Structure 1
Amino acid sequence: MQRVCFQLQVKPERVDEYVERHRAVWPEMLEALHATGWHNYSLFLRRDGLLVGYFETPSLEAALAGMAATDVNARWQAEMAEFFEDLGDARPDTGFVLLDEVFHLEDQLATAGHRER
Protein backbone atom coordinates (compact mmCIF):
# COMPACT_ATOMS: atom_id res chain seq x y z
CA MET A 1 0.00 0.00 0.00
CA GLN A 2 1.41 3.36 -1.03
CA ARG A 3 1.21 6.18 1.53
CA VAL A 4 0.54 9.56 -0.10
CA CYS A 5 0.85 12.97 1.54
CA PHE A 6 0.15 16.23 -0.26
CA GLN A 7 -0.09 19.94 0.39
CA LEU A 8 -2.33 22.73 -0.87
CA GLN A 9 -2.97 26.29 0.29
CA VAL A 10 -6.55 27.30 1.15
CA LYS A 11 -7.20 31.02 0.95
CA PRO A 12 -7.09 32.14 4.61
CA GLU A 13 -10.36 34.07 4.29
CA ARG A 14 -12.08 30.88 3.04
CA VAL A 15 -10.87 28.46 5.76
CA ASP A 16 -14.13 28.41 7.73
CA GLU A 17 -16.23 27.77 4.63
CA TYR A 18 -13.79 25.08 3.44
CA VAL A 19 -14.14 23.30 6.77
CA GLU A 20 -17.92 23.57 6.61
CA ARG A 21 -18.01 22.07 3.10
CA HIS A 22 -16.10 19.04 4.39
CA ARG A 23 -18.46 18.35 7.30
CA ALA A 24 -20.79 16.56 4.89
CA VAL A 25 -19.02 15.61 1.67
CA TRP A 26 -21.44 14.41 -1.00
CA PRO A 27 -22.18 10.70 -0.51
CA GLU A 28 -21.45 9.98 -4.19
CA MET A 29 -18.02 11.63 -3.80
CA LEU A 30 -17.27 9.49 -0.75
CA GLU A 31 -18.28 6.37 -2.67
CA ALA A 32 -16.16 7.35 -5.68
CA LEU A 33 -13.08 7.89 -3.51
CA HIS A 34 -13.55 4.53 -1.85
CA ALA A 35 -14.20 2.71 -5.14
CA THR A 36 -11.10 4.16 -6.80
CA GLY A 37 -8.67 3.15 -4.08
CA TRP A 38 -8.46 6.09 -1.68
CA HIS A 39 -8.17 4.55 1.80
CA ASN A 40 -7.51 6.03 5.23
CA TYR A 41 -7.94 9.49 3.65
CA SER A 42 -7.62 12.51 5.95
CA LEU A 43 -7.23 16.25 5.52
CA PHE A 44 -5.51 18.47 8.08
CA LEU A 45 -5.88 22.25 7.99
CA ARG A 46 -4.02 25.03 9.78
CA ARG A 47 -5.83 28.30 10.48
CA ASP A 48 -3.57 30.10 7.97
CA GLY A 49 -4.86 27.79 5.22
CA LEU A 50 -2.06 25.22 4.99
CA LEU A 51 -3.81 22.00 3.98
CA VAL A 52 -2.11 18.62 4.27
CA GLY A 53 -3.81 15.51 2.95
CA TYR A 54 -2.92 11.88 3.55
CA PHE A 55 -4.25 8.67 2.07
CA GLU A 56 -3.18 5.13 1.35
CA THR A 57 -3.71 3.46 -2.01
CA PRO A 58 -2.49 0.48 -3.99
CA SER A 59 -1.52 2.90 -6.80
CA LEU A 60 -1.48 6.70 -6.80
CA GLU A 61 -1.70 6.77 -10.59
CA ALA A 62 -4.72 4.43 -10.63
CA ALA A 63 -6.44 6.33 -7.79
CA LEU A 64 -6.03 9.66 -9.60
CA ALA A 65 -7.08 8.21 -12.96
CA GLY A 66 -10.10 6.52 -11.40
CA MET A 67 -11.32 9.76 -9.89
CA ALA A 68 -10.60 11.72 -13.08
CA ALA A 69 -12.99 9.39 -14.89
CA THR A 70 -15.93 10.20 -12.61
CA ASP A 71 -18.49 12.94 -13.15
CA VAL A 72 -18.81 13.60 -9.42
CA ASN A 73 -15.10 14.39 -9.14
CA ALA A 74 -15.30 16.94 -11.96
CA ARG A 75 -18.21 18.66 -10.20
CA TRP A 76 -16.51 18.55 -6.78
CA GLN A 77 -13.19 19.89 -8.09
CA ALA A 78 -14.98 22.72 -9.91
CA GLU A 79 -16.66 23.77 -6.67
CA MET A 80 -13.52 23.43 -4.55
CA ALA A 81 -11.11 25.23 -6.92
CA GLU A 82 -12.18 28.68 -5.71
CA PHE A 83 -10.93 27.88 -2.20
CA PHE A 84 -7.26 27.44 -3.18
CA GLU A 85 -4.32 29.71 -3.92
CA ASP A 86 -1.61 29.07 -6.51
CA LEU A 87 -3.40 26.48 -8.62
CA GLY A 88 -2.93 28.25 -11.94
CA ASP A 89 -4.97 26.30 -14.49
CA ALA A 90 -4.85 23.08 -12.44
CA ARG A 91 -7.71 21.57 -10.46
CA PRO A 92 -7.15 20.89 -6.74
CA ASP A 93 -6.81 17.15 -7.38
CA THR A 94 -3.99 17.74 -9.86
CA GLY A 95 -2.46 20.94 -8.46
CA PHE A 96 -1.29 19.65 -5.11
CA VAL A 97 2.34 19.26 -4.07
CA LEU A 98 3.33 15.71 -3.18
CA LEU A 99 5.44 15.45 -0.04
CA ASP A 100 8.22 12.88 0.30
CA GLU A 101 7.94 10.43 3.16
CA VAL A 102 11.17 10.54 5.16
CA PHE A 103 10.20 8.43 8.17
CA HIS A 104 7.72 5.66 8.91
CA LEU A 105 7.84 4.05 12.34
CA GLU A 106 6.61 0.60 11.36
CA ASP A 107 9.08 0.33 8.48
CA GLN A 108 12.03 1.19 10.69
CA LEU A 109 10.85 -1.10 13.47
CA ALA A 110 10.56 -3.95 10.98
CA THR A 111 14.04 -3.23 9.63
CA ALA A 112 15.42 -3.23 13.17
CA GLY A 113 13.80 -6.59 13.86
CA HIS A 114 11.35 -5.25 16.44
CA ARG A 115 8.69 -7.69 17.55
CA GLU A 116 5.19 -6.77 18.70
CA ARG A 117 4.61 -7.29 22.40
Structure 2
Amino acid sequence: MQQIAFKMQLKPGHIDAYKARHDAIWPELSALLRDAGIRDYSIFLEPQSGALFAVLRRTENHRMDDLPSHPLMRRWWDSMADLMETGPGLDSAPLSLPLTPMFHLD
Protein backbone atom coordinates (compact mmCIF):
# COMPACT_ATOMS: atom_id res chain seq x y z
CA MET A 1 0.00 0.00 0.00
CA GLN A 2 1.08 3.51 -0.73
CA GLN A 3 0.68 6.25 1.87
CA ILE A 4 -0.04 9.82 0.79
CA ALA A 5 -0.69 13.03 2.68
CA PHE A 6 -2.13 16.37 1.67
CA LYS A 7 -3.19 19.69 3.14
CA MET A 8 -6.55 21.46 2.80
CA GLN A 9 -7.87 24.69 4.35
CA LEU A 10 -11.06 25.45 6.26
CA LYS A 11 -12.64 28.83 5.95
CA PRO A 12 -12.68 30.72 9.27
CA GLY A 13 -15.39 29.79 11.75
CA HIS A 14 -16.32 26.41 10.25
CA ILE A 15 -14.54 23.87 12.46
CA ASP A 16 -17.70 22.58 14.15
CA ALA A 17 -19.66 22.28 10.90
CA TYR A 18 -16.78 20.45 9.20
CA LYS A 19 -16.55 17.97 12.07
CA ALA A 20 -20.32 17.44 12.15
CA ARG A 21 -20.52 16.75 8.42
CA HIS A 22 -17.70 14.22 8.62
CA ASP A 23 -19.23 12.59 11.70
CA ALA A 24 -22.30 12.02 9.52
CA ILE A 25 -20.43 11.06 6.34
CA TRP A 26 -22.72 9.45 3.80
CA PRO A 27 -22.40 5.66 3.87
CA GLU A 28 -22.41 5.59 0.07
CA LEU A 29 -19.45 8.00 0.04
CA SER A 30 -17.50 5.80 2.46
CA ALA A 31 -18.25 2.84 0.17
CA LEU A 32 -17.11 4.81 -2.91
CA LEU A 33 -13.80 5.69 -1.25
CA ARG A 34 -13.22 2.08 -0.21
CA ASP A 35 -14.13 0.84 -3.70
CA ALA A 36 -11.55 3.29 -5.10
CA GLY A 37 -8.88 1.61 -2.98
CA ILE A 38 -8.65 4.12 -0.13
CA ARG A 39 -7.83 2.70 3.29
CA ASP A 40 -6.93 4.09 6.71
CA TYR A 41 -7.96 7.68 5.87
CA SER A 42 -7.58 10.32 8.59
CA ILE A 43 -7.91 14.11 8.59
CA PHE A 44 -6.30 16.21 11.32
CA LEU A 45 -7.00 19.86 12.19
CA GLU A 46 -4.59 22.56 13.27
CA PRO A 47 -7.21 24.75 15.05
CA GLN A 48 -5.35 28.08 15.09
CA SER A 49 -4.98 28.25 11.30
CA GLY A 50 -7.82 25.98 10.17
CA ALA A 51 -5.34 23.85 8.22
CA LEU A 52 -6.44 20.27 7.60
CA PHE A 53 -3.85 17.53 7.16
CA ALA A 54 -5.03 14.30 5.55
CA VAL A 55 -3.22 10.98 5.48
CA LEU A 56 -4.43 7.87 3.70
CA ARG A 57 -3.25 4.58 2.38
CA ARG A 58 -4.29 3.38 -1.03
CA THR A 59 -4.06 0.03 -2.71
CA GLU A 60 -1.66 -0.53 -5.60
CA ASN A 61 -4.58 -0.75 -8.03
CA HIS A 62 -6.43 2.27 -6.58
CA ARG A 63 -8.82 4.32 -8.66
CA MET A 64 -8.49 7.65 -6.84
CA ASP A 65 -7.96 9.45 -10.14
CA ASP A 66 -11.53 8.56 -11.13
CA LEU A 67 -13.10 10.17 -8.05
CA PRO A 68 -13.19 13.82 -9.25
CA SER A 69 -15.55 12.89 -12.07
CA HIS A 70 -17.84 10.68 -9.98
CA PRO A 71 -21.27 12.32 -9.36
CA LEU A 72 -21.31 11.31 -5.69
CA MET A 73 -17.88 12.82 -5.06
CA ARG A 74 -18.96 16.00 -6.84
CA ARG A 75 -22.10 16.15 -4.66
CA TRP A 76 -19.99 15.79 -1.47
CA TRP A 77 -17.62 18.52 -2.60
CA ASP A 78 -20.59 20.77 -3.41
CA SER A 79 -21.93 20.17 0.10
CA MET A 80 -18.55 21.09 1.64
CA ALA A 81 -17.65 24.08 -0.56
CA ASP A 82 -19.11 26.62 1.88
CA LEU A 83 -16.67 25.39 4.57
CA MET A 84 -13.42 24.93 2.66
CA GLU A 85 -11.11 26.77 0.33
CA THR A 86 -11.56 25.56 -3.23
CA GLY A 87 -9.01 25.90 -5.99
CA PRO A 88 -9.29 27.85 -9.21
CA GLY A 89 -10.74 25.72 -11.95
CA LEU A 90 -11.71 23.01 -9.47
CA ASP A 91 -15.38 23.93 -9.23
CA SER A 92 -16.28 22.93 -5.67
CA ALA A 93 -13.36 20.53 -5.16
CA PRO A 94 -11.31 21.44 -2.11
CA LEU A 95 -7.91 22.96 -2.73
CA SER A 96 -5.57 20.08 -1.93
CA LEU A 97 -1.80 20.50 -1.69
CA PRO A 98 0.34 17.35 -1.60
CA LEU A 99 2.73 16.95 1.31
CA THR A 100 6.23 15.54 0.84
CA PRO A 101 7.18 12.63 3.11
CA MET A 102 10.09 13.56 5.35
CA PHE A 103 10.12 10.80 8.01
CA HIS A 104 8.30 7.57 8.75
CA LEU A 105 8.64 5.14 11.61
CA ASP A 106 6.91 1.83 11.03
Relative to the length of structure 2, the TM-score reads 0.86
State which drifts further: 26-35 or 11-20.
11-20
Note if contact 2:37-2:59 (Cα within 8 Å) is conserved in structure 1. Answer: yes
Aligned-residue RMSD, C-alpha: 1.9
From the two aligned structures, give the one with the greater helix fraction: 1
Is there any run of 5+ residues in structure 2 with no aligned partner, and where?
none
- State yes or no: 1:24 paired with 2:36: no
Q: Which amino acid aligns with 1:55?
A: L
Q: Which runs of 4+ in 1 moved over 3 A?
A: none
Measure, in 2, the Cα distance between the counterparts of 1:97 and 1:60.
22
Is there any run of 5+ residues in structure 1 with no aligned partner, and where?
107-117
State which drifts further: 78-87 or 35-44.
78-87
Task: Tell me the alpha carbon deviations over residues 28-80 of structure 1, each in whole angstroms, 9 at most, x when there is no partner.
Answer: 00000000011000111122311011100125973132x23422111001111
Relative to the length of structure 1, the TM-score reads 0.78
Residues matched between the structures, number: 103
SS at match of 1:72: helix
